[in-house]
Amino acid sequence: MSGTSLDGIDAVLVGFYPIEVQLISQHFIPFDTDLKQAILSLHTPAHNELHQTQLIANTLAERYALAVKALLAQTQYHPKQIRAIGCHGQTIRHCPEHGYTVQIGNSSLLAELTGITVVSDFRSKDIAAGGQGAPLVPAFHDKVLRHPDWHRIIVNIGGISNLTHLAPGINTSGFDCGPGNILMDAWCMQHLNKPYDENGDWAATGNVLPCLLDKMLTEAFFALPPPKSSGRDLFNMAWLNDKLTGKEHAEDVQASLLELTCVTIAHAIIQQYSGVQEVYLCGGGAHNLTLRKRLAELLPECIIQTTGELGVNGDFLEAIAFAWLAQQNLHHRPANLPRVTGARHPCILGAVYYA
């Protein structure tokens, strides 16, 4: 899994058994600055972008292969013992309103480099069936994090925030809430030359700017009813800069961006679901202590914890989910939730590239 945050590649080796999903091993490969900038450049039209897209897709496949080989070396598994690689690929466009989404990574090359069958392009079939193609992880959350008695929400705070609603006796639902770390990380890199604001310490030194927050909250996406999804196509630095006067203190902007993430998550929960008892966080944002504290203030009636409390490593939960999506494909089982994505019907997700 390499997501909107562009921090790197999360790789997991997962065993699926009749009554459990077992995380056998995990590995992380960070993106270097040049690769991150090259991927970012693909999000806007540019000269010769088709050629550049294919070159970067090849580079990503090579990095994915390195991650796979590192996992195998750690565990002494042989490629022939692995049923498949579930590869999300790197999103460079997500435009369900136009009927498409694009994740790159050259799955044919990945299969060739590893000798393992690859399942990828998980989102396109859902979009073809009229859905958003996202979020897809709520279906997996339903399998592994649902409790028969407790009313809970799982909030994945990656580049974009999305939530999964798990209530006893009620069908699972969920949707993208808005920006998670994407704007905070970009602002931190611009002003501190750091990839993220560790623990939210920098944001904690600033003050929320009510006028800026109000401007950001006027974005039409926040008022849309679910199903809905978003990404870097909407929430990017151009979007933020359009709302700034240029006179703001950098730390106050960071504090306002953190508040935007927290408020949009909390409002989504309050407006769509009542009686929630537990909120479990996963993704990179779960490590942001300032963010967690603010969410607890906004949701005082909920227990706020990380999925680690449920025995699931939140840093690798999304990667585990795409291993599960690959397994669903190979068993010819639908893996989307139309209630979540808005698709007309359940779909078998992904395309298979045999080794």
Q: What is the residue-wise DSSP string for 100-155?
A: EEEEES-HHHHHHHHTS-EEE--SHHHHHTTS-----THHHHHHHT--SS--EEEE
Question: For each of the chain's 355 residues, which pLDDT tens digit applies?
Answer: 998 889 999 999 999 998 889 999 999 999 999 999 999 999 888 889 999 999 999 999 999 999 999 999 999 999 999 999 999 999 999 999 999 999 999 999 999 999 999 999 999 999 999 999 999 999 999 999 999 999 999 999 999 999 999 999 999 999 999 999 999 999 999 999 999 999 999 999 999 999 999 999 999 999 999 999 999 999 999 999 999 999 999 999 999 999 999 999 999 999 999 999 999 999 999 999 999 999 999 999 999 999 999 999 999 999 999 999 999 999 999 999 999 999 999 999 999 999 9
Predicted local distance difference test score (pLDDT) of residue 19: 84
Q: What is the rounded distance in angstroms from the CA atom of residue 109 to the CA atom of residue 126? A: 25
Q: Is 38 exposed, middle or buried (0-12, 13-18, 19+ CB in 10 A)?
A: middle
123: Cα within 13 Å, side-chain hemisphere: 25
Domain covering 146-310, topology? Nucleotidyltransferase; domain 5 (3.30.420)
Cis peptide before 135 (omega within 30 of 0): yes
Query: What's the CA gap between 100 and 292, in Å, rounded?
Result: 34
The pTM score is 0.94
Count Cβ neighbours within 10 Å for each residue of 194-226 and write b for 16 or more, e otherwise: ebbbeebebbbebebbeebbebbeebeebeeeb
Looking up tokens 């909920």 gives: 302
Strand partners for 305: 280
Tokens of 180: 């998670």
Sign of CA dihedral 327, 59, 235, 190: positive
The pLDDT of residue 44 is 87
- Within this chain, domains 8-133+315-353 and 146-310 share the same CATH topology: yes
Phi-psi region of 33 (alpha: psi -120 to 50; beta: other; left: phi over 0): alpha
Architecture of domain 8-133+315-353: 2-Layer Sandwich (3.30)
Residues 6+ apart with CB under 8 A from 110: 61, 64, 65, 68, 85, 87, 118, 353
Backbone angles phi, psi at 141, to 5 degrees: -55, -40
Query: What whole-number distance in Å separates Cα of residue 120 and Cα of residue 103?
Result: 9
Q: Pick the closest to residue 120 from 176, 61, 39, 169 (CA basis).
A: 61
Domain spans in the chain, listed from the N-terminal domain onward: 8-133+315-353, 146-310
The per-residue pLDDT for 18 is 87
CA distance 323 to 210: 42
Burial pattern 7-25, b for ≥16 Cβ within 10 A else e, equals: bbbbbbbbeeeeeebebeb
Between helix 49-75 and helix 107-114 the angle, nearest 10°, is: 30
Residue that the structure tokens 């999804």 belong to: 229
Looking at the DSSP bridge assignments, the partners of residue 154 are 164, 280
Rounded Cα distance, 14 and 109, in Å = 22
Give the C-alpha separation, 13 to 24, whole Å.
5
* Euclidean distance between CA atoms 216 and 193, whole angstroms: 24
Distance CA 291, CA 203 (A): 9
CB atoms within 10 A of CB 135: 28
